[in-house]
Structure 1
Amino acid sequence: MSDASGLRAPTFHRRLASGLYELLILVAVVLIATFPFLAIVGGDATFGWRRHFLQLWVLGVVGGYLVGFWTHGGQTLAMKTWRIRLVREDGGQVSTGRAIHRYLLALLGLAAAGLGFLWAFFDRDRQFLHDRLAGTALVAA
């Protein structure tokens, strides 16, 4: 992002507010998506293969939500509210493959005690590690 595109990263406070808002939306999406899962697989998904299948279902639903919005306009509902956009490093629109790559890298960064997100405090352009690796950037819209 240090190129001549002139894109600047959103502030920490705007990212935090957007992230909290996104979390509320995702909780609602997952809650709604769990109903058909339980109707098809059965009511008790707290152990065994059903639990693992539910976890994969939730990761797929969340991934579908995020990738869908990132590739169609570059903004989720929360990102629109807080004027944040996801773009390629050169400022172009994010492809589906790149968005999936970013999502999977973000999951890894989250699983590593959030280190992928903490990377933004040390990055010269205040980008997350998964953005660096996926060739994407969050910019103020």
Structure 2
Amino acid sequence: MTEADKHSLPPSEWLVPSVSRRLACWLYEGVLLFGVLVTAGLAYFILAYWTSGLGPGDVGQHPMLRSGFQATCFLSLGIYFIWFWSRGQTLAMKTWHIRVVDTAGRPLSRTLALTRYMACWLWFLPPLLITLPLGLPVREVGVLTLGWVLVWALLSRFHPQRQFLHDALAGTRLITHR
């Protein structure tokens, strides 16, 4: 028996959390991620200010540094999620008694956690790719993105195991874990 098999859960314990519980966990995760992104952004801009020779107000305006900031945010989020998902739960998931497992009920490998992280961008990427080139105001982009997220969440009702599409694509599932 491998180490991963020791941690797998029997199918009888695969209770799917309700959509409202998953979305509440998602909102709490957003609060936690605010801290992660502020820390990563602060570290990035301090480093950029020290190394670029630009003035404090110019660092955020430079296109190359702005791209670097976006990459830093993407990588910081990736490290956060891959680290915690490969251990089964983020802090928000622990609070809401939700665990992420593979289709056999085992903890995620780092590769599978990375696959899930990339698939999770389907929550935000389509509305952003459609609306940002149009130059819409931030409020309208936010409303359209929120609408897409709600549609995305409701689509889980049509999945046989009530999983979100990104979990189905990645070969993962969210389960209730006490």
Query: Which residue identity is paired with 1:127?
Result: Q
What is aligned with 2:126?
Answer: 112
The question of whether the paired residues in 1 share the 8 Å contact of 2:103 and 2:172 is answered with: yes
1:57 aligns with 2:72: yes
Cα separation, 2, equivalents of 1:117 and 1:88: 20
Cα separation, 1, equivalents of 2:24 and 2:172: 20
Cα separation, 2, equivalents of 1:67 and 1:128: 18
Write out per-residue CA displacement over residues 29-87 of structure 1, whole angstroms, 9 at most, x where no aligned residue.
10011111001112422441111111111011011111100112x10000000000000
State the shift of 1:118 in Å.
4.3
Q: Kindly tell me: are residues 100 and 83 of structure 1, through their superposed partners in 2, closer, same or farther at Cα, counting changes over 3 Å?
A: same
TM-score (norm 1): 0.89
The question of whether the paired residues in 2 share the 8 Å contact of 1:110 and 1:116 is answered with: no
What does 1:36-55 correspond to in 2, within 5 Å?
36-42=43-49, 43=56, 44-55=59-70
The question of whether the paired residues in 2 share the 8 Å contact of 1:18 and 1:79 is answered with: yes
Q: Which runs of 5+ in 1 are unaligned?
A: none
1:34 aligns with 2:41: yes
Query: Which residue identity is paired with 1:9?
Result: V
What is aligned with 2:7?
Answer: none
State the shift of 1:108 in Å.
2.9
The question of whether the paired residues in 2 share the 8 Å contact of 1:116 and 1:130 is answered with: no
TM-score (norm 2): 0.71
What is aligned with 2:28?
Answer: 21
Cα separation, 2, equivalents of 1:78 and 1:87: 16
Residue from 96, 114, 117 that aligns with 1:100:
114
What is aligned with 1:5?
Answer: 11
The question of whether the paired residues in 2 share the 8 Å contact of 1:109 and 1:129 is answered with: no
Cα separation, 2, equivalents of 1:111 and 1:104: 10
Structure (1/2) with the larger helix percentage: 2
What is the aligned-residue identity percentage? 35
Cα separation, 2, equivalents of 1:92 and 1:133: 17
Query: Which residue identity is paired with 1:140?
Result: T
Q: Secondary structure at the match of 2:173?
A: strand
What does 1:60-139 correspond to in 2, within 5 Å?
60-72=75-87, 74-113=88-127, 114=149, 116-139=152-175
The question of whether the paired residues in 1 share the 8 Å contact of 2:19 and 2:153 is answered with: no
Number of residue pairs matched?
Answer: 137
Write out per-residue CA displacement over residues 101-122 of structure 1, whole angstroms, 9 at most, x where no aligned residue.
1100111342124465443132
